Structure 1
């Protein structure tokens, strides 16, 4: 391209001072202000503050302790999320897009927020435009504006045409000038209309939020009914307030949403340390559920470092002449992809002058140029010759079987994207690639974890199958050439029969992903080029290499900063750890919620007071839920995902809640009526039995036990006993060293584990087995 005089430093500064500077790339994390706001301004925090104010009116200040627990939980969440944010932001800088800008001092590489109005930029295939621009020079480019219009068909652009921000080049390169930057760019001015991919969806958070919504509807009217009932049954206002407060804070699964969000944030931080940038936190969970992984050959199975093996002259061509023709053609076309770099590195450049260029397109699988000597194209034989002669097809098949990527060089009568006229084949080009280091171990691990690997590539299927087999991918012999299938393709049948797909166009990649999704699979897709973007966007989880195109990185949920696919093992394990651990500990939070709702409904119709005071729930919440759930959520747990969150939760929580309600009714009706125990004594025994049931549930959640988990349960149980021995007065508990009380509560304590087991087995056989859980 001809040299262009760019802006001077003075002109750049003038535009910066005038506010004509582009915006930085959007942050992948929330701001510190947003983190504080979203953690503090919640519905349940509001309820806690109101309840705290009401308890303050009673003068029982120690019952305000529940607010301390809520504040501590929120503070921990804010701290962890800010800590994670800083690590992710550091990693974002490493993968942030850069652009080539021409200024008076020469060519510079800058970030998008350093681009100013009227800057001259050089863009090439795979670049996503950060500004609106006008084409100054080009030999031919095609632009995908699907993120703006929703239409994925590439649009040809030439000198003088306008380009909109958010679009990306699918072929060619160009020199462009920024016309609108920052807030005045097309994407920013019409931000509400921009069509982009939907954010990653978390089944875990969706289920938990559904529970929260139900509680939001229930908690206030139920609390109000209980308060009125307590006043009607001659309780004092203070007793009614304390009982109602205890019931309502019991219904709040404080920390559950927080624990889930913090666990995902911590996982993102851990992955950032392993050079994996997470663009959407729920995507960590999404990849853990993946059972089909679509692999793009180049950059995923292979290193992407292509090398020219040799040229094969045809039609009486001399090798020396063929070297010149291929070198002249590829240099005149000016493509900047891996294949072009492999050829220009070793072939001579006769410096032909191009009068017309058709740049490489993933859909066409060829690129071409018109020079003084005629029209020349380089591309896939199957896409240039219709049909490929039988003897040539056999020759190509032989090279492909040996693992070579086979291209051809041809002379054509015309140079049009739609019509090349008569084609004269001059020779074959053999390109070889190398398998990534540790590819065999990585793919074997995924397959052992029941993740089916499918290879989708634009190359010859025999070549792809050869490489897939060398990388240890099962079923590599089940291959299909997508270029031979015509227009009417049964994708559902294809995905059921084959594992390797060659000569795949970008739209076909997307259709294959959709077919797997229709079959009930959760699909992840890897890619590094513009030809992968449609599939990356369609997949449940998109994975891009940092060395790939900017457009691919902007679509993906994960960016591998070192472009090392082995890092995906860490993502899979982090996702499984989060999901499995949250599924386990969620039951601990919901036990309290379930028995609090049930007791509130029951005690609306009972004369005696609600069995707990707010402060009495603190030992139960902290020792059987808060502290152990924090440690259990960080434990290694890489088991396969069951996909039955509610069943996993209810198997533990429902029996525990039934046991708690049963014991409290026994204490109230038998202990209060038969043994003539006071309210202080019955509430003390309610705390004791509830804590015992929750400790049994904790033991169930901690399975399979190891030394650490067993020690944790033992420590929490010991601390719970010490509360009664040394801190009873602080928590409004009476002494349990009373033989009359002991005669009553000791037999109940002995029955806790057998009763829990009996209820769990009964529910498991009669209820859980009949319910279809999501």
Structure 2
């Protein structure tokens, strides 16, 4: 019966509900707090306050980056939060409960303590409870216990949230809901909007850690030298020291990374693709092997009856099939297809004694009837003997892409033996032939992955010949050599998955083992699926992709959910991943180049004992035009470059020589300008500004390759903006630029051009990379 409306109201009043806050993203308060109270904001804010106290307000312009970073970060994450929250509602599994004697579908948050929850194959258990009714109910608790074997649940036994139904059906009463449920805390942590286990993020963190360690000694050296040079002019010393320290901080790198990922989530959300973890975008871009399940991924969930061939006229084959359909409490898609085809015939009314539900491990389902005996419907190659001519006919039909089931009569009393994996092979009473529907977008998607160098492996529980036929129709390489997974052993599985592309008769545990075998060979593996038999493999793959119409269990463990079931969405996910990785690498080159030249300038100034060549406003201008604005556009631009490992070494191979060139050229231009007795600091610093700006523009032009119209326009626009500032008197005065010395301006241009040429030559010949390669590695 379940609860009554009055009882539900009482429990809601008492707070006994399952209304756990959805954690598809951080809360608004957390987003604001995380973007405001950052290490960078604290450091830059402190330096800004020092400049405002001891210097001119124009030199505190760099403090505006706090507002910009914070505002952009909050706005982008709030946009991503709205998208994720909306998609999470769409992708969330609804729960069937009994209330007031009628079954109804509810949102998970609407469950209350004591609800009677109905279970079918593929359902995820969302709250803890006690089984009330078990119809051969089998629960997979592997996500909680690590044990892969399903557990039979009888009436009175406990079920735990986080597990899922793999066979049979039944009902249970909710005994723990909301935060009290076992999996609530795990789900809360697992579904947060985060960037973790990412090569990209790990690399950026390594950069930041290195910069932090260098910042302290170099900053102290600069501060001491500026006090000495300024001859006790405390204000000038503070302003000069701040100018050097601020530029060492790659303050925008983390921001641009977060923005790029957040925008990726929003873009994919618009394509009905739910990204449950941010690293998923990066993950699929790195994938080199894509494992797909045939049913539900390459083919649509539904099937059509092609033919029903009766092999023995002395037995009631049609009535037996109708009785099996009627007896199955939780029919799978195959049984639903059979049921639709038998709709013209009535249930024969056979009295059921026992039901054995379908499971991926058995490959069949069956029932024991009081008078008519035991009947089973399942895979022909599992139920029939090897020499049986009907099995040969089934395999012949299966090789054409049809799905063939055998209906057999089991000797009385042998159904339990067969369910335990024993018993002799049986004789077919009829063959049920089903026609599968290939997804219209499957061919184009498979072709795309082939062009991108991603190997596609079809891993299915179906007949190998049938799987091979579907794979051949999609032109998957190696489809002409389907592999029967029943021949797999611990010794040969790694070699088999490396050399074959199509596998049939794969058990759920074997799918998991095959994913691990591929990973052991150094592959980055993505796995797609929609059924309960795919859950273990989805969980262990580097990237699990579930279909939106699949079971709640698959959606729970997958990192990406295709809410519209469109296999064609995957290329867009790959494209987003490549856009993020490629663009962040460009942005990292810009920011780390700035860090390198800032450190070099600070060290040279500190050791030689001269005034720092810039005011903070000079570096604000240079950073804005050569890094800040360009980085924003480059981080969000289209990018189809293939993902490659080695993010950190590649960035260092560019940023270190580029930063050294910028720092050395700037210091040289500054020292040459100081040699002129008639030159003042304003002219000297302008010469240094010109030199650094011209060379930083050269670096930007190198990073913007390959050139497109908008990238060329971006570089030209930044150069034009600098010329406008020079041409407008009040802007020139605002940024303290004095280009009255034509000689110094020419020197700056010549030095920048010379060092730019040397930098291009060094990068082309990879001198720095070759130097690093000669350094002995630690063993």
TMscore range, shorter length: over 0.9
Please report how far the alpha carbon of residue 308 of structure 1 lies from its aligned counterpart in structure 2 after TM superposition.
1.9
CA contact under 8 A between 1:655 and 1:763: conserved in structure 2?
no
SS in 2 for 1:299: coil
- The 5-angstrom pairing of residues 84-233 of structure 1 reads 84-104=80-100, 106-188=102-184, 201-233=197-229
CA contact under 8 A between 2:11 and 2:17: conserved in structure 1?
yes
- 2:244 is matched with 247
Query: 1:266-298 deviations in whole A, cap 9, x for unaligned?
Result: 111011111111111111111011111001001
Change (3 A) 1:756 1:723: farther
CA contact under 8 A between 2:297 and 2:529: conserved in structure 1?
yes
Change (3 A) 1:302 1:643: same
- 1:295 is matched with 292
- 1:425 is matched with 428
CA contact under 8 A between 2:601 and 2:664: conserved in structure 1?
no
Q: d(CA) in 2 for partners of 1:194 and 1:38?
A: 19
- The 5-angstrom pairing of residues 562-577 of structure 1 reads 562-577=564-579
- 1:329 is matched with 324
Q: d(CA) in 2 for partners of 1:181 and 1:165?
A: 9
CA contact under 8 A between 1:382 and 1:483: conserved in structure 2?
no
Query: 1:572-594 deviations in whole A, cap 9, x for unaligned?
Result: 11111111111112211111111
- 2:509 is matched with 507
SS in 2 for 1:504: coil
Q: d(CA) in 1 for partners of 2:164 and 2:593?
A: 51
- 1:734 is matched with 737
Change (3 A) 1:489 1:345: farther
Q: Is the deviation greater in 169-178 or in 199-208?
A: 199-208
Query: 1:440-469 deviations in whole A, cap 9, x for unaligned?
Result: 112111111111111000000110010011
Q: d(CA) in 2 for partners of 1:294 and 1:324?
A: 39
SS in 1 for 2:23: coil
1:595 equivalent among 594, 597, 609: 597
Q: d(CA) in 1 for partners of 2:584 and 2:166?
A: 42
- 1:478 is matched with 481
Please report how far the alpha carbon of residue 382 of structure 1 lies from its aligned counterpart in structure 2 after TM superposition.
3.1
SS in 2 for 1:138: strand
CA contact under 8 A between 1:147 and 1:166: conserved in structure 2?
yes
CA contact under 8 A between 2:441 and 2:566: conserved in structure 1?
no
CA contact under 8 A between 2:665 and 2:755: conserved in structure 1?
no
Please report how far the alpha carbon of residue 210 of structure 1 lies from its aligned counterpart in structure 2 after TM superposition.
1.3
Change (3 A) 1:333 1:734: closer
1:444 matched to 2:442 = no
- 1:39 is matched with 35
Please report how far the alpha carbon of residue 141 of structure 1 lies from its aligned counterpart in structure 2 after TM superposition.
1.0
CA contact under 8 A between 1:200 and 1:283: conserved in structure 2?
no
1:415 matched to 2:415 = yes
- 1:310 is matched with 307
Query: 1:686-737 deviations in whole A, cap 9, x for unaligned?
Result: 1111111111111111111122111111110111122233255555433213
Please report how far the alpha carbon of residue 105 of structure 1 lies from its aligned counterpart in structure 2 after TM superposition.
5.8
CA contact under 8 A between 1:381 and 1:388: conserved in structure 2?
no
- 2:536 is matched with 534
SS in 1 for 2:719: helix
Q: d(CA) in 1 for partners of 2:323 and 2:114?
A: 34
CA contact under 8 A between 1:728 and 1:735: conserved in structure 2?
no
CA contact under 8 A between 2:303 and 2:333: conserved in structure 1?
yes
Q: d(CA) in 2 for partners of 1:456 and 1:492?
A: 14
Count of residue pairs the alignment pairs up? 764
Q: Is the deviation greater in 231-240 or in 53-62?
A: 231-240
* TM score, norm. by length of structure 2: 0.94
- 1:262 is matched with 259
Q: d(CA) in 2 for partners of 1:766 and 1:101?
A: 64
* TM score, norm. by length of structure 1: 0.94
CA contact under 8 A between 1:592 and 1:657: conserved in structure 2?
yes
SS in 1 for 2:740: coil
Please report how far the alpha carbon of residue 190 of structure 1 lies from its aligned counterpart in structure 2 after TM superposition.
8.2
- 1:659 is matched with 661
CA contact under 8 A between 1:202 and 1:283: conserved in structure 2?
no
Please report how far the alpha carbon of residue 311 of structure 1 lies from its aligned counterpart in structure 2 after TM superposition.
2.2
SS in 1 for 2:607: coil
Q: d(CA) in 2 for partners of 1:190 and 1:589?
A: 37
CA contact under 8 A between 1:293 and 1:454: conserved in structure 2?
yes
SS in 1 for 2:300: coil
CA contact under 8 A between 1:332 and 1:351: conserved in structure 2?
no
Gaps in structure 2 of 5+ consecutive residues: none
SS in 1 for 2:251: coil
Q: d(CA) in 2 for partners of 1:605 and 1:110?
A: 71
